[in-house]
Copies of this chain bind each other. A is one copy, B any other.
């Protein structure tokens, strides 16, 4: 059997990384990426020698790419002829319109967190509810914060049961280089509950969740402080063991210099990781506290790349490449280099 063929629609911050992630999966084939205009990302694709073929949504968009000297391989229609599934990382809201196109063409699709739940069959997280996605046509990933949060909560929940989580999300307000949004000298609060708590309850309905979201003027990763009420007791040592064994969680020590969201970003650069990315969330060792069955810990969410593994899991589920959860995430991890 030939490898499943994958296309990426929307080659922005997330789209670039989805393409990278799929290209690393030895049991999938990345056919190409789609975008609408010469952006920094598509210019960089060109300067880097076109590692991925580029398609436009409408033929008339080709002229601008021609003027910028960026080769175009065809239209989205052409791409849809060749693929089994699309990873849609268009700007929030565009996915709804795109879905109609995919549906008309009989192509499956995985959407990102910016879309509404009602356009998909299942709201998906590779570790928490892989089984629900198997064989489905349209899946939506949790957002970056929720993806990382669920990784950590699911990890504890499978061991001791989690009844309730109250989270405080210190949210980076823009991505590096973004001039379209931002805050200066402001910590902005949102009404509770934040959507991440609501989304967590959708994926894990046995947990009661609420939380506060505070936007802060940083760009390198969200910090979430998690207060979890567990069903049975768990020691800090055991929790650390579980976190350390999780292929998508990295335990770090403040004492070693991992003292911030930006330290983790810098470390990804120091590692020489492509695009200075990190797939794994980090748990800060020295932030773990326990008070009865209340278990508190802080995590870092690298917003650009954190959803790549779970989105890749979604391809496996939608195409029924694996039906077993651990087998599926294990393959994704292996190809992404997550030990």
B-contacting residues of A (Cβ < 8 Å)?
Answer: 16, 38-41, 43-45, 47-48, 68, 164, 166, 168, 170, 172-179, 181-193, 208, 210, 212, 214, 216-221, 223, 225, 227, 229, 254-263, 265-267, 269-272, 274-276, 284, 286-289, 291-292, 294, 296, 298
* Contact with A275, one of B170, B172, B191, B272 (Cβ below 8 angstroms): B272
Is there an interface contact between A166 and B294, defined as CB atoms closer than 8 Å? yes
How many copies altogether?
4
* Contact with A261, one of B186, B265, B294 (Cβ below 8 angstroms): B186
Q: Given the known inter-chain contacts A44-B271, A294-B166, please indicate yes or no for A184 contacting B219, CB distance below 8 A.
A: yes
Is there an interface contact between B267 and A44, defined as CB atoms closer than 8 Å? yes
User: What residues of B have a CB within 8 angstroms of the CB of A265 in the complex?
Assistant: 176-177
Is there an interface contact between A164 and B291, defined as CB atoms closer than 8 Å? yes
Q: Given the known inter-chain contacts A265-B176, A266-B40, please indicate yes or no for A289 contacting B183, CB distance below 8 A.
A: no
Q: Given the known inter-chain contacts A208-B291, A254-B189, please indicate yes or no for A259 contacting B220, CB distance below 8 A.
A: no
Is there an interface contact between A210 and B296, defined as CB atoms closer than 8 Å? yes
Is there an interface contact between A170 and B170, defined as CB atoms closer than 8 Å? yes
Is there an interface contact between A275 and B275, defined as CB atoms closer than 8 Å? no
* Contact with A193, one of B45, B174, B289 (Cβ below 8 angstroms): B289
Is there an interface contact between B291 and A166, defined as CB atoms closer than 8 Å? yes
User: What residues of B have a CB within 8 angstroms of the CB of A177 in the complex?
Assistant: 186, 220, 260, 262-263, 265-267
Q: Can you name 13 A-B pairs with beta carbons within 8 Å?
A: A40-B256, A43-B256, A48-B272, A172-B187, A176-B265, A177-B220, A182-B217, A185-B185, A188-B260, A189-B259, A191-B286, A216-B218, A272-B275
User: What residues of B have a CB within 8 angstroms of the CB of A272 in the complex?
Assistant: 44, 48, 274-275
Most B CB within 10 A of own CB, among A16, A220, A221: A220
Is there an interface contact between B186 and A184, defined as CB atoms closer than 8 Å? no
User: What residues of B have a CB within 8 angstroms of the CB of A164 in the complex?
Assistant: 291-292, 294
Complex Cα spacing A191 to B284, Å: 8
User: What residues of B have a CB within 8 angstroms of the CB of A284 in the complex?
Assistant: 189
In the assembled complex, the CB of A262 is this many whole angstroms from the nearest CB of chain B, namely: 4
Complex Cα spacing A190 to B274, Å: 29
Is there an interface contact between B289 and A189, defined as CB atoms closer than 8 Å? no
User: What residues of B have a CB within 8 angstroms of the CB of A263 in the complex?
Assistant: 40, 177, 179, 186
Complex Cα spacing A187 to B47, Å: 24
Is there an interface contact between B40 and A270, defined as CB atoms closer than 8 Å? yes
User: What residues of B have a CB within 8 angstroms of the CB of A168 in the complex?
Assistant: 168, 170, 212, 225
